[in-house]
């Protein structure tokens, strides 16, 4: 359990919430579902009920082995031990109770991936970053997520629905894929936000580019920031 807490992972123990997540995923027999974080397997068999195939990955080998024993009757389930973000499987739906410490990595990985939609549970504070309206409170991940996905908040999940209980509440989000971002574009967006106090003119100077635009990052729309990043990447 200590290892899971270090990873920022807490086990969902509410069957009703697991059922709601599976329902919101809108899985059909044509879908391959990719799940990061098998955990105790509360969600995995629910995903298998409607899917053509479910690929579930966990970093804890003992949990994967337990799941293999418990779900040996599910012939459309592939269980794997390892880092889910290093997998290269093709999938149409993504479902995960994301480890809090890996939420940003997950959003960036999903932004680079090709799939239809997903349902993810994240820390409420992280959900607020993704859904923030204030230009000055945006983070790089806010820009990346909103360019890559259409994001909808589905419902809140209280800390008492986990074991061990985290210190904060969670939020379940629906994400629908809009655009695929390259790794290079994501890196540039993160770099831009490290210069967010500078003007666009001065930011471009860091990359040996020129412009007459004197706005700061906080004055730019999400699309303008994406276009700025693309401009920096142009040879």
**Are residue 219 and residue 149 in the same domain, yes or no?**
no
**Are residue 126 and residue 189 in the same domain, yes or no?**
no
**Are residue 203 and residue 88 in the same domain, yes or no?**
no
**Are residue 114 and residue 164 in the same domain, yes or no?**
yes
- Model pLDDT for residues 6-51, shown as the tens digit of each residue: 444 689 999 999 999 999 999 999 999 999 999 999 999 999 999 9
Which pLDDT score is estimated for 43?
Answer: 97
Which pLDDT score is estimated for 5?
Answer: 44
Residue 4 has pLDDT above 90, yes or no: no
**CA atoms of 45 and 67, how far apart (whole Å):** 10
Which pLDDT score is estimated for 52?
Answer: 98
DSSP for the chain, please give it. Answer: -HHHHHTT--EE--HHHHHHHHHHTT--TTPEEEEE--TTSSSHHHHHHH-SEEEEEES-HHHHHHHHHHTTT-TTEEEEES-GGG-----SEEEEE--GGGHHHHHHHHHTS--SEEEEEEEHHHHHHHH---GGG--HHHHHHHHHEEEEEEEEE-GGGEES--SS-EEEEEEEE--PPPHHHHHHHHHHHHTTTSBHHHHHHHTT-------BGGGS-HHHHHHHHHHHH--
Residue 196 buriedness (CB in 10 A; 0-12 / 13-18 / 19+): middle
**Are residue 29 and residue 83 in the same domain, yes or no?**
yes
**Are residue 167 and residue 96 in the same domain, yes or no?**
yes
Tell me the residue range of the domain where 204 lies.
185-233
The number of distinct structural domains making up the chain is 2
Which pLDDT score is estimated for 3?
Answer: 43
**Are residue 17 and residue 103 in the same domain, yes or no?**
yes
**Are residue 25 and residue 93 in the same domain, yes or no?**
yes
Percent of the chain scored above 90 by pLDDT?
A: 80
- Model pLDDT for residues 109-147, shown as the tens digit of each residue: 999 999 999 999 999 999 999 999 999 999 999 999 999
Quickly state the pLDDT bin for 212 (edges 50, 70, 90): confident
Enter the pTM of the model.
Answer: 0.92
Q: Give the domain CATH number at 167.
A: 3.40.50.150
Residue 210 has pLDDT above 70, yes or no: yes
Residue 185 has pLDDT above 90, yes or no: yes
- Angstrom CA distances, 231 to 90, 220, 235, stand at 30, 14, 9
Question: Which of 145, 163, 181 is the last residue in one of the domains?
Answer: 181
Residue 227 has pLDDT above 90, yes or no: yes
**Are residue 189 and residue 146 in the same domain, yes or no?**
no
Quickly state the pLDDT bin for 102 (edges 50, 70, 90): confident
Two tokens, residue 85: 């973000």
**Mean pLDDT, residues 177-198 taken together:** 95
Which pLDDT score is estimated for 187?
Answer: 97
């Amino acid at each position: 359990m200590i290892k899971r807490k270090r990873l920022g992972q807490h086990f969902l123990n509410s069957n009703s919430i697991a059922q709601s997540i599976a329902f919101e995923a809108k899985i059909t027999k044509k879908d391959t579902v990719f799940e990061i974080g098998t955990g105790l397997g509360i969600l995995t068999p629910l995903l298998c009920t409607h899917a053509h195939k479910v690929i579930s990955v966990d970093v804890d080998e003992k949990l994967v082995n337990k799941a293999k024993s418990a779900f040996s009757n599910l012939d459309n389930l592939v269980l794997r031990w390892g880092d889910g973000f290093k997998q290269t499987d093709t999938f149409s739906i993504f479902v995960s109770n994301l480890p809090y410490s890996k939420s940003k990595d997950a959003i960036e990985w999903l932004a680079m991936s090709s799939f239809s939609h997903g349902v993810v549970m994240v820390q409420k504070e992280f959900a607020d970053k993704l859904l923030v309206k204030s230009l000055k409170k945006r983070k790089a991940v806010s820009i990346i997520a909103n360019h890559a996905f259409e994001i909808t908040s589905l419902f809140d999940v209280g800390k008492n629905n986990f074991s061990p209980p985290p210190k904060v509440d969670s939020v379940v989000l629906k994400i629908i894929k809009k655009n695929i971002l390259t790794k290079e574009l994501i890196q540039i967006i993160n770099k831009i936000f490290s210069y967010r106090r500078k003007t666009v003119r001065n930011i471009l100077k860091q990359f040996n580019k020129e412009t007459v635009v004197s706005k700061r990052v906080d004055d730019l729309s999400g699309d303008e920031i994406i276009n700025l990043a693309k401009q920096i990447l142009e040879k």
